[in-house]
Every structure is written in C-alpha cells, then in structure tokens.
C-alpha cells in the first residue's frame, strides 16, 4: 500500500531532534561536576595528640593558664571551681600575673562543645589569642 505524498511529509515533520538537548544536558553535567570539586568544608580537628609523642619540656617562665572542664561542664581554674560568668575575669587576672602565658583548655570526654567554645571565647575577649586544647580527659 502506498502512502499519499502529504502523509509522508507529516511523519518526517513530527520527529524531534534530541541532539541539542543532549548537548545541553552534558554541558550542565560537566558544569556541576567541576563546581562540586571546589567545595570544601572547613572544620575544627579535635583529635587528641598521640600518647607516644613526648611533649616539649615546659618553659619555666611561661606557665600556662589551665582551664579544666569536667563531665558536668563545670570550669576549674587554678584548682578551684569557677562559675561560667567568672571564667573571663579569672583568665584576665591570671594573664595580668603572667603576660606570656597561653590558655590551655582540658575538656572531659563527656563535656559539651558549648563549654569548650565558651572558654575559648572568654580567652579571646580577655585578649589572649594563644589558646590550646590539651588532651581530653576520660
């Protein structure tokens, strides 16, 4: 059976050319792959130091201001428990006694991150930018 001439032209016109659409999809895929490789998250590494490494001997002129955080988020400075509002004044007072002293925060393994950040912020507000995190106590 022969088709009429008009029907054959109609079949050819209804076909869709997918080549441009595939080109656009591949270009978008390449764009997303390239942009995704440049995204890097910045975080704070809180891994404790290796116990086999020996720490350097302490400098006698540079005593540290040690702030301990227990499992109930209580702060201990100079062997005394301190209220969370008194952390910064206590650090400022000890810094006045020894201007070169760094602040060493020793958190308990069960303490919260908020307590650690509070001590670090208090030290920064006191003008101390040498804040170190000591080994985590279990």
Is the pTM higher than 0.75? The answer reads no
pLDDT one-digit tens code per residue, 15-64: 778 888 889 999 999 988 887 766 666 776 667 667 676 656 555 446 78
> Under a CB-based contact definition with an 8 Å cutoff, are residues 103 and 62 in contact?
no
Per domain, the residue ranges of the chain are 5-36, 65-133
pLDDT one-digit tens code per residue, 92-128: 999 998 888 899 999 988 899 999 999 999 999 998 8
Domain 65-133 top-level CATH class: alpha beta
> Under a CB-based contact definition with an 8 Å cutoff, are residues 70 and 112 in contact?
no
98, 66, 97, 68: which is closest to 81 by C-alpha? 68
Q: Higher-confidence residue: 95 or 137?
A: 95
CA 66 remoteness from chain centre: 23
Q: What's the confidence (pLDDT) of residue 55?
A: 59
């Amino acid at each position: 059976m022969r088709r009429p001439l008009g029907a054959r032209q109609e079949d050819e016109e209804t076909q869709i050319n997918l080549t441009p659409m595939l080109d656009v999809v591949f270009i978008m895929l390449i764009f997303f792959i390239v942009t995704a490789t440049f995204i890097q998250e910045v975080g704070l590494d809180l891994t404790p130091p290796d116990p086999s490494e020996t720490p350097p001997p302490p400098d006698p002129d540079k005593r540290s201001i040690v702030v301990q955080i227990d499992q109930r988020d209580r702060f201990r400075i100079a062997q005394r428990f301190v209220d969370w509002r008194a952390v910064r004044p206590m650090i400022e007072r000890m810094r006045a006694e020894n201007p070169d002293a760094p602040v060493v925060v020793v958190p308990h393994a069960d303490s919260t991150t908020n307590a650690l950040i509070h001590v670090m912020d208090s030290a920064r507000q006191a003008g101390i930018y040498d804040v170190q995190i000591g080994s985590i106590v279990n």
